[in-house]
Amino acid sequence: MATPAAATTGTPKELCVNTPTPFKGDRSKLRTFLLDCELYLLINQEIYDHDDKKIAFVLSYLTGGDASMWKNQWLQSKRTGTRITLGTYAAFYDDLTDAFKEEEQVQNALHKLHNLRQTKNMLAEELNTEFRLLVGRAGLTWPTCSKWAIALHGMYESCLFNLNCILVSLS
């Protein structure tokens, strides 16, 4: 009978969880894509234990559109003769985020915050989630974000009490 230690000393197996959604170049989806990749690489770190493996994993999900074109150009830039040298994962990550950064992310988030309204069928929790996501994208801190919360004049009056409770929990 094998001991528990002996059972875990074999070749590591990749954990079967959802893989990242392929990235096609939509700048607004880059952050989510990279977080999904990071999580996958983290839980499978015994498999993806070298920068080349991590880079190859992420590159394999750059499929179609601008992302595929960027991948091809990036790989060509790493070619020396017949050899491709990928470099460090940190440098690759920087190259990818520089290429697909959302130039006006803060301005877009602030604009959406300004126009955020509760629709007739929208729950207060949904409005709160959207509010928190936009606050994060805008890079706002609590004193600033409390001013935005006060400005949520598009919320139905019946939900104002719930928002007040939520805002107190943020502080």
Backbone φ, ψ for residue 79 (5° rounding)? -85, 135
Question: What is the pTM assigned to this prediction?
Answer: 0.64
Give per-residue pLDDT as tens, 47-68. 999 999 999 999 999 998 999 9
The Cα diameter of the chain in Å comes to 68
pLDDT higher than 50, residue 44: yes
The DSSP secondary structure of 7-61, one letter per residue, reads HTSS-------PPPPPB-S-GGGHHHHHHHHHHHHHHTTTTS-SHHHHHHHHHTT
Q: Which tens digits make up the pLDDT trace of 102-158?
A: 767 667 777 787 788 888 888 878 887 888 777 777 777 666 665 556 555 455 544
Average pLDDT of the segment spanning 16-28: 91
Q: d(Cα 161, Cα 6) in Å, to the nearest integer?
A: 58
Q: What is the pLDDT of residue 6?
A: 45
The model's confidence at residue 5, banded by pLDDT at 50, 70 and 90, is: very low
Q: Give the C-alpha separation, 168 to 171, whole Å.
A: 5
Q: What are the boundaries of each domain within the chain?
A: 19-99, 105-170
Lowest mean pLDDT among 13-17, 27-31, 107-111, 166-170: 166-170
pLDDT band at 84 (very low <50, low <70, confident <90, very high): very high
pLDDT of 8 reads 55
For 24-41, the pLDDT digits (tens) are 999 889 989 999 999 999
